[in-house]
Amino acid sequence: MFTGIIEVQGKVSEIVRKDKNYNFCITSSIGSELRIDQSVAHNGICLTVTATQGDKHWVTVVDESMRKTNLETLCIGDSVNLERCMIANGRFDGHVVQGHVDKTARILSIEDAEGSWLFTFMFDDLNNLMVEKGSVTINGISLTCFNVSENQFQVAVIPYTYEHTNMGILKGGDRVNIEFDIIGKYVEKILSKRKS
Protein backbone atom coordinates (compact mmCIF):
# COMPACT_ATOMS: atom_id res chain seq x y z
CA MET A 1 0.00 0.00 0.00
CA PHE A 2 1.12 3.54 -0.82
CA THR A 3 0.04 7.06 0.08
CA GLY A 4 0.65 9.00 -3.13
CA ILE A 5 3.47 11.08 -1.64
CA ILE A 6 6.35 10.83 -4.12
CA GLU A 7 9.79 10.23 -2.59
CA VAL A 8 12.05 10.86 -5.56
CA GLN A 9 12.15 10.86 -9.33
CA GLY A 10 14.07 8.12 -11.06
CA LYS A 11 15.44 8.02 -14.61
CA VAL A 12 14.82 5.20 -17.05
CA SER A 13 18.30 3.80 -17.80
CA GLU A 14 17.43 0.74 -19.87
CA ILE A 15 14.39 -0.98 -21.39
CA VAL A 16 14.73 -4.58 -22.54
CA ARG A 17 11.90 -6.63 -24.01
CA LYS A 18 11.82 -10.35 -23.27
CA ASP A 19 8.93 -12.22 -24.86
CA LYS A 20 5.86 -10.14 -23.88
CA ASN A 21 7.47 -8.66 -20.78
CA TYR A 22 9.57 -5.53 -20.46
CA ASN A 23 12.45 -5.12 -18.01
CA PHE A 24 13.02 -1.54 -16.90
CA CYS A 25 16.22 -0.35 -15.23
CA ILE A 26 15.69 2.76 -13.10
CA THR A 27 18.45 4.95 -11.64
CA SER A 28 17.56 6.95 -8.52
CA SER A 29 18.83 8.28 -5.21
CA ILE A 30 16.98 5.47 -3.37
CA GLY A 31 18.25 2.70 -5.66
CA SER A 32 20.95 1.61 -3.23
CA GLU A 33 18.37 1.26 -0.43
CA LEU A 34 16.04 -1.03 -2.36
CA ARG A 35 16.04 -4.80 -2.09
CA ILE A 36 14.79 -7.63 -4.28
CA ASP A 37 11.06 -8.43 -3.80
CA GLN A 38 10.30 -4.94 -2.49
CA SER A 39 7.21 -3.17 -3.85
CA VAL A 40 7.81 0.25 -5.35
CA ALA A 41 5.28 2.46 -7.14
CA HIS A 42 6.55 3.68 -10.53
CA ASN A 43 4.29 6.47 -11.85
CA GLY A 44 1.69 4.96 -9.54
CA ILE A 45 2.13 1.36 -10.70
CA CYS A 46 3.09 -1.15 -8.02
CA LEU A 47 6.04 -3.15 -9.37
CA THR A 48 8.37 -5.66 -7.72
CA VAL A 49 12.10 -5.02 -7.59
CA THR A 50 13.79 -7.95 -9.36
CA ALA A 51 17.44 -6.87 -9.11
CA THR A 52 19.59 -4.05 -7.70
CA GLN A 53 23.08 -2.72 -8.34
CA GLY A 54 24.37 0.51 -6.84
CA ASP A 55 21.84 3.26 -7.51
CA LYS A 56 19.97 1.12 -10.05
CA HIS A 57 17.07 -1.26 -9.70
CA TRP A 58 15.17 -3.42 -12.18
CA VAL A 59 11.48 -4.25 -12.48
CA THR A 60 9.59 -6.52 -14.85
CA VAL A 61 6.40 -5.22 -16.45
CA VAL A 62 3.90 -7.68 -17.93
CA ASP A 63 2.04 -7.02 -21.17
CA GLU A 64 -1.23 -6.18 -19.36
CA SER A 65 0.43 -3.36 -17.40
CA MET A 66 2.19 -2.03 -20.49
CA ARG A 67 -1.09 -1.81 -22.42
CA LYS A 68 -3.14 -0.21 -19.63
CA THR A 69 -0.66 2.37 -18.32
CA ASN A 70 1.64 5.04 -19.66
CA LEU A 71 4.74 2.85 -19.24
CA GLU A 72 4.58 2.02 -22.94
CA THR A 73 5.34 5.68 -23.72
CA LEU A 74 8.51 5.80 -21.60
CA CYS A 75 11.91 6.16 -23.25
CA ILE A 76 15.45 6.01 -21.90
CA GLY A 77 16.13 9.19 -19.94
CA ASP A 78 12.49 9.78 -19.00
CA SER A 79 11.57 10.67 -15.44
CA VAL A 80 9.51 8.29 -13.25
CA ASN A 81 7.83 9.13 -9.92
CA LEU A 82 8.93 6.65 -7.22
CA GLU A 83 7.36 5.80 -3.87
CA ARG A 84 8.26 2.90 -1.60
CA CYS A 85 5.40 1.13 0.15
CA MET A 86 4.08 2.65 3.35
CA ILE A 87 5.67 1.60 6.64
CA ALA A 88 3.34 0.73 9.52
CA ASN A 89 4.73 3.36 11.88
CA GLY A 90 4.73 6.23 9.37
CA ARG A 91 2.38 9.16 8.88
CA PHE A 92 -0.43 8.71 6.39
CA ASP A 93 0.08 11.94 4.47
CA GLY A 94 -1.80 11.25 1.22
CA HIS A 95 -4.66 8.76 0.79
CA VAL A 96 -4.96 4.99 0.40
CA VAL A 97 -3.19 4.10 -2.87
CA GLN A 98 -2.92 0.50 -4.02
CA GLY A 99 -0.62 1.01 -6.98
CA HIS A 100 -3.25 -0.55 -9.26
CA VAL A 101 -3.83 1.79 -12.19
CA ASP A 102 -7.47 1.90 -13.32
CA LYS A 103 -7.00 3.75 -16.60
CA THR A 104 -5.11 6.53 -18.28
CA ALA A 105 -6.17 10.10 -19.04
CA ARG A 106 -4.82 12.67 -21.47
CA ILE A 107 -3.82 16.21 -20.59
CA LEU A 108 -6.12 18.71 -22.30
CA SER A 109 -4.41 21.80 -20.96
CA ILE A 110 -1.93 23.16 -18.43
CA GLU A 111 -2.50 26.71 -17.23
CA ASP A 112 -0.17 28.88 -15.17
CA ALA A 113 -2.38 29.94 -12.26
CA GLU A 114 0.11 32.48 -10.84
CA GLY A 115 1.60 30.40 -8.04
CA SER A 116 0.29 26.99 -9.07
CA TRP A 117 -0.62 25.11 -12.22
CA LEU A 118 -4.11 24.05 -13.30
CA PHE A 119 -4.16 20.72 -15.16
CA THR A 120 -7.24 19.62 -17.11
CA PHE A 121 -7.54 15.92 -17.99
CA MET A 122 -9.88 13.96 -20.26
CA PHE A 123 -10.85 10.29 -20.35
CA ASP A 124 -11.62 8.37 -23.54
CA ASP A 125 -14.77 6.92 -21.96
CA LEU A 126 -17.41 7.96 -19.41
CA ASN A 127 -16.43 5.58 -16.60
CA ASN A 128 -15.27 8.24 -14.13
CA LEU A 129 -15.44 7.27 -10.45
CA MET A 130 -14.25 10.61 -9.08
CA VAL A 131 -16.26 12.86 -6.81
CA GLU A 132 -15.90 16.62 -6.48
CA LYS A 133 -13.06 17.46 -4.05
CA GLY A 134 -12.21 13.77 -3.76
CA SER A 135 -8.82 12.08 -3.99
CA VAL A 136 -7.22 10.82 -7.18
CA THR A 137 -3.78 9.43 -7.95
CA ILE A 138 -2.06 10.81 -11.06
CA ASN A 139 1.26 9.13 -11.98
CA GLY A 140 1.37 8.00 -8.35
CA ILE A 141 0.74 11.49 -6.88
CA SER A 142 -2.10 11.97 -4.40
CA LEU A 143 -4.11 15.01 -5.57
CA THR A 144 -7.54 16.55 -5.07
CA CYS A 145 -9.82 16.68 -8.10
CA PHE A 146 -12.43 19.34 -8.90
CA ASN A 147 -14.65 20.49 -11.78
CA VAL A 148 -15.40 16.79 -12.23
CA SER A 149 -17.62 15.76 -15.15
CA GLU A 150 -18.27 12.42 -16.81
CA ASN A 151 -15.10 12.54 -18.88
CA GLN A 152 -13.04 15.46 -17.52
CA PHE A 153 -11.55 16.76 -14.28
CA GLN A 154 -9.00 19.25 -13.02
CA VAL A 155 -6.29 19.36 -10.37
CA ALA A 156 -4.20 22.22 -9.02
CA VAL A 157 -0.50 21.51 -8.59
CA ILE A 158 1.57 23.53 -6.13
CA PRO A 159 5.18 24.52 -6.94
CA TYR A 160 6.74 21.87 -4.69
CA THR A 161 4.85 19.04 -6.41
CA TYR A 162 5.50 20.59 -9.83
CA GLU A 163 9.24 20.69 -9.18
CA HIS A 164 9.68 17.39 -7.30
CA THR A 165 7.59 15.06 -9.50
CA ASN A 166 7.29 14.55 -13.24
CA MET A 167 4.26 16.90 -13.38
CA GLY A 168 6.73 19.65 -14.26
CA ILE A 169 7.77 18.00 -17.53
CA LEU A 170 4.33 16.95 -18.74
CA LYS A 171 2.73 18.70 -21.70
CA GLY A 172 -0.62 18.81 -23.45
CA GLY A 173 -1.57 15.46 -25.00
CA ASP A 174 0.59 13.40 -22.63
CA ARG A 175 -0.99 10.32 -21.08
CA VAL A 176 -0.97 9.84 -17.30
CA ASN A 177 -1.85 6.92 -15.04
CA ILE A 178 -5.03 7.26 -12.98
CA GLU A 179 -6.00 5.32 -9.87
CA PHE A 180 -9.43 6.13 -8.48
CA ASP A 181 -10.00 6.30 -4.75
CA ILE A 182 -10.51 2.75 -3.42
CA ILE A 183 -13.61 3.73 -1.42
CA GLY A 184 -15.28 5.02 -4.56
CA LYS A 185 -14.51 1.78 -6.39
CA TYR A 186 -16.12 -0.32 -3.65
CA VAL A 187 -19.20 1.93 -3.50
CA GLU A 188 -19.59 1.69 -7.28
CA LYS A 189 -19.34 -2.12 -7.12
CA ILE A 190 -21.97 -2.37 -4.38
CA LEU A 191 -24.39 -0.04 -6.18
CA SER A 192 -23.98 -1.84 -9.52
CA LYS A 193 -24.80 -5.18 -7.82
CA ARG A 194 -27.93 -3.68 -6.27
CA LYS A 195 -29.09 -2.37 -9.65
CA SER A 196 -28.72 -5.79 -11.26
Give phi and psi for 164, each to the nearest 5: -110, 10
Q: Which residues are CB-contacts of 102 (< 8 A; sequence separation ≥ 6)?
A: 129, 178, 179, 180, 185
Q: Which residues are CB-contacts of 105 (< 8 A; sequence separation ≥ 6)?
A: 121, 122, 123, 138, 175, 176, 178
User: Exposure string (b/e) for 23-53, b if CB count within 10 Å is 16 or more?
Assistant: ebbbebebbeebeeeebbbbbbbbbebeebe
The pTM score is: 0.91
The CATH T-level fold of domain 103-195 is: Elongation Factor Tu (Ef-tu); domain 3 (2.40.30)
Report the 10 Å Cβ neighbour count for 6: 24
| CATH code for residues 8-84 | 2.40.30.20
Coil/strand/helix, residue 161 = helix
Please state the domain extents for the chain: 8-84, 103-195
Q: How high is the pLDDT of residue 33?
A: 97
| pLDDT tens-digit series, residues 131-140 | 899 999 999 9
Cβ(129)–Cβ(185) below 8 Å: yes
| pLDDT tens-digit series, residues 66-118 | 999 999 999 999 999 999 998 877 777 788 899 999 999 999 999 999 999 99
Round to whole Å and give the CA distance between 76 and 95. 30
Residue 157 has pLDDT above 80, yes or no: yes
Residue 163 has pLDDT above 90, yes or no: yes
Q: How high is the pLDDT of residue 123?
A: 94
Q: How high is the pLDDT of residue 128?
A: 82
Q: How high is the pLDDT of residue 94?
A: 80
Q: How high is the pLDDT of residue 75?
A: 96
Q: How high is the pLDDT of residue 13?
A: 98
The reply to whether 8-84 and 103-195 are identical in fold is: yes
Report the 10 Å Cβ neighbour count for 13: 17
Cβ(106)–Cβ(175) below 8 Å: yes
Q: Which residues are CB-contacts of 139 (< 8 A; sequence separation ≥ 6)?
A: 43, 44, 70, 81, 165, 166, 167, 176, 177
Report the 10 Å Cβ neighbour count for 174: 17
Coil/strand/helix, residue 57 = strand
User: Which of the 8 DSSP states describes residue 86?
Assistant: P
Residue 129 has pLDDT above 80, yes or no: yes
On average, the pLDDT of the chain sits at 93
Round to whole Å and give the CA distance between 141 and 119. 13
